[in-house]
Amino acid sequence: MTVLVPLTLKEALIATSANPSAQIIQGGTDLMVEINFNHRKPTDVIALRRVNEIRGYKISDDRSSVTVGAGLPYQAMEHGELAELFPALAQAARTVGSPQIRAAGSIGGNLGTCSPAGDALPVLSALNAIVNLNTATGSREISVHDFMVGVKRNARQPGEIIVSTTLPIINGWQGYAKVGVRNAMVISVASCCLVVDRIAGAIAVSLGAVGPTIVRCRETEAWLASQVDLKKVATVAPNLIKEFGDRIASESKPIDDHRSTAAYRRHAVATLSRRLLMRANTQ
Amino acid sequence: MITNTEIYSLTVNGTKREVRDAWVGESLLYVLRERLGLPGSKGACEQGECGSCTVIMDGQAVCSCLVMAATAIDSEITTVEGLTSDGSLTAVQDAFITEGGVQCGFCTPGLVVAIEHLLANNPEPTELEIKESISGNICRCTGYGRIFEAVATAVSTRRANL
């Protein structure tokens, strides 16, 4: 077994192109668990923890979007400029594990693992994020909706490195809520992100941990848009909020597993989505 | 680029330590305990949920069970053994004793390191900040009340010693 610790993105990309099947490790909060429990024994590892180019963020010149480095730890999103631009991302970041985990974990790691319970992923979905991938010879961008293909499966090709994700800055309320068995240090039983786009007059809703991958509730979004013109009115009527939650629950695809039951998860996403919509109403 | 296949060095508690004849996929926790003779960091869950393996790496409190040791070669690592250079107790450790913050003791090293990290960055934390800072450290004995008392005592001791 070899462990490579590239110090620049270029070195990392050369290393992955030379050994496309090598295991990439970012913060280690998922991979090391699998290694510690002998569920995985990689032969070659490329560690990205010293690649500083992917540990920052950049606001576009026209201030329409922010490109967040794949290795930026969650603790950097909890407060400050990023938290002001993306309150839902900040809320999701604060629910990730513990301070120890948030010092290590990153969006790139969430995307690489692609667990449906990944805390940042519903936010990326509701924001229509773009995932940026590089190889030694080029780069491509892909919608996060196309990137996440199944339970712990994504569209990353061998030799590619997830370098960043581009998040559009949206004018409107946004929030994230999650249910777990306790407040701190918990993996999602169910989660929900709701983003209001005042300019487009649209509400986007994405759910975590209630399907093989993140569930974007497009049918409910379309139904809500047919009921309320959000370009004209700022709030959704209470009778619609009830039905909104019911529709969200019916769009979720939860299963029974060691963390919860499908029935509870359906109930949870109905409640979380209604709660978020009510919070959006009061803003 | 740094490549590790057989021998690598870690900087632990200010000293460069060589790790040889080890599988390079080992966690930092395992290497500290089994290769470098530093059993202060405890292994319990080995999945980042209990915090008993907490160490300071490059100024951040992290779970050493989730760090692949061979990737940490150019990092500064501080374990509970290295909080003082002469083996004396820190104000936090002393307060754990006087306030009864230790019962079985298994979580104590991780809690001490997490609290040292908190106070180094925030000498006068609020109750919420204290709770947040040890939200990743699980203690099944104390109910945390004596630990919060220990933090309060350590804060005032440190303030008096400024």
Predicted confidence band of residue A184 (pLDDT cuts 50, 70, 90):
confident
Would you kindly state where each structural domain of chain A is located, as residue ranges? 1-49, 174-282
Q: ipTM of this model?
A: 0.94
Which stretches does DSSP call E strand in B5-160?
A: 8-12, 15-19, 54-57, 60-63, 76-78
pLDDT over threshold 90, residue A245:
yes
Interface test mutation site (partner A, options B34, B112, B135, max chain A beta carbons within 10 A): B135
**Cβ pair B25:A101 closer than 8 A:** no
Token digits of residue A44: 């070659």
Residues of chain B with CATH 3.10.20.30: 8-79
pLDDT computed for residue B5 by the predictor? 72
CATH class of B91-160: mainly alpha
Q: Output the average pLDDT for chain B.
A: 95
Residues of chain B with CATH 1.10.150.120: 91-160
Inter-residue contact B4 to A2 (CB < 8 Å): yes
Distance from CA of A276 to the nearest CA of B (A): 24
A1 contact residues in B (CB cutoff 8 A): 5, 23-25
Inter-residue contact A170 to A88 (CB < 8 Å): no
Please list, in sequence order, all residues whose beta carbon lies within 8 angstroms of the beta carbon of residue B127, skipping any fewer than 6 positions away: B148
Q: Is B51 on the interface with A (CB under 8 A)?
A: yes
pLDDT computed for residue A234 by the predictor? 77
Distance from CA of B30 to the nearest CA of A (A): 9
Q: Which of B1, B68, B138 sits opposite A6 (nearest CB)?
A: B1
Q: Is B137 on the interface with A (CB under 8 A)?
A: yes
- Comparing CA positions, the residue from B65, B75, B74 lying closest to residue B32 is B65
CATH class of A1-49: alpha beta
Instruction: Pick the residue from chain A with its C-alpha nearest to B23.
Output: A1
pLDDT 10s digits, A97-131: 999 999 999 999 999 999 999 999 999 999 999 99
- Pick A174-282's CATH classification: 3.30.390.50, 3.30.43.10, 3.20.20.70, 3.40.50.300: 3.30.390.50
Instruction: Pick the residue from chain B with its C-alpha nearest to A75.
Output: B60
Query: What superfamily would CATH give domain B8-79?
Result: Beta-grasp domain (3.10.20.30)
Q: Which of A7, A32, A101 sits opposite B136 (nearest CB)?
A: A101
pLDDT over threshold 90, residue A232:
no
pLDDT 10s digits, B118-130: 999 999 999 999 9
